Amino acid sequence: MMKIVTRLAAASALSMLASTAFAASLTVGFSQIGSESGWRAAETTVTQNQAKERGIDLKFADAQQKQENQIKAVRGFIAQGVDAILIAPVVATGWDDVLKEAKEADIPVILLDRQIEAPDSLYLTAVTSDQVHEGKVAGDWLVKDVGAKPCKVVELQGTTGSSPAINRKKGFEQAIAGHSNITIARSQTGDFTRTKGKEVMESFIKAEGGGKDICAVYAHNDDMAVGAIQAIKEAGLKPGTDIKVVSIDAVPDIFLAMAAGEANATVELTPNMAGPAFDALEAYLKDKKAPAKWIQTESKLYTQADDPKAVYDAKKGLGY
């Protein structure tokens, strides 16, 4: 309480100054879901960095995984008269009313990272990745890497029924369709976790003649890939050479594995959703031209040739 009181006192003295000094710059409210994963924390950091670079005054509200908190935050932003609102929605439903209020107040809303079930006239645009495309990029890399040689792939799926698991599987299958030398021999869920990834990989290795027959492992996220690398090492094989490792997300740890030659490729789910969002917003505010309703973020492929150590160093400070 004391802290808040002193802050209040100091801030109220400053507020006069502040309101004149930054009169020209944009104020943007950002309602974040929470910080449930490393990626989410990185998204927050990147958003704050992006805002700082552009001289945007970012009002940040962490919803602690609760939609009611997000709605409250958005209402608060509207009452404050911010210039725009970014929302990373915790669920797909229940946004119509508060978005209508934002629209009536003429405040553009941009969705980050997830889509919602509401008429698309209620928001300016949504910035998300394309999960099918992510799987496809991973698959394309493998197709190129193995060439015409036969290749038996084992797949570590995400949580059964989750949309990234379904979509990343679909994209990968699209990429290898028409390349009969590449087959998916086994596919099982590793629940997006390291321990489950390791366990499932161990059983794959046992089932496939001690792992000699496996040419590559495709994991729906990096964490499972890191687990799989461990399992491969324990089976006496060399990950990255005996069994190729390709996964999705591009979290810092996979770059360490890549630098050590133990992982081959990863597809980035960029935490920089705010960059494209701010670009679209600034363009919109400048000449009132509405962007497309969906902005797809780049699903960048990283391989051992991309100086993984440097990427690791750049990423490790983001809060992953």
Partner 1 sequence: MIRNRNLPFAATVLVFAGIYLLCVLQFPTMLSFRVAGNLLTDNAFLGVAAVGMTFVILSGGIDLSIGAVIAFTSVFVAVLVRAGVHPAVAFALALTLSTAFGAVMGMTIHYLAMPAFVVTLAGMFLARGAAFLITTDSVPISHEFLDMLKSLYIQLPGKGRLTFIGMVMLATFVIGMVLAHRTRFGANVYALGGSQQSSELMGVPAAATTVRLYALSGFLAGLAGLVYTLYTSAGYSLATVGVELDAIAAVVVGGTLLSGGSGLVLGTLFGVFIQGLIQTYIVFDGSLSSWWTKIAIGILLFVFIVLQRATLLLPRRSGKAVAFTPIPRGG
Contact residues for partner 1, defined by CB under 8 A: 1, 4-5, 7-8, 11-12, 15, 29, 57-64, 66-69, 71-73, 75-81, 91-94, 96-97, 104-105, 117
Measured from the CB atom, is 108 or 240 closer to partner 1? 108
Question: For 302-318, b where at least 16 C-beta lie within 10 A, e where not — what string?
Answer: bebeeebeebbeebeeb
Contact yes or no for 63/69 (Cβ under 8 A): yes
Least Å distance between CB 47 and partner 1? 12
Least Å distance between CB 290 and partner 1? 24
Measured from the CB atom, is 73 or 205 closer to partner 1? 73
- Of 29, 27, 38, nearest to 88 (Cα)? 29
User: How far, in Å, CA of 90 to CA of 109, rounded?
Assistant: 15
Least Å distance between CB 105 and partner 1? 7
Contact yes or no for 280/110 (Cβ under 8 A): yes
- Write phi, then psi, for 120 (nearest 5 degrees): -75, 0
Least Å distance between CB 82 and partner 1? 9
Least Å distance between CB 84 and partner 1? 13
> What is the CA angle 162-252-30, rounded to 5?
65
Measured from the CB atom, is 84 or 176 closer to partner 1? 84
Measured from the CB atom, is 104 or 287 closer to partner 1? 104
Contact yes or no for 264/240 (Cβ under 8 A): yes
Measured from the CB atom, is 15 or 195 closer to partner 1? 15
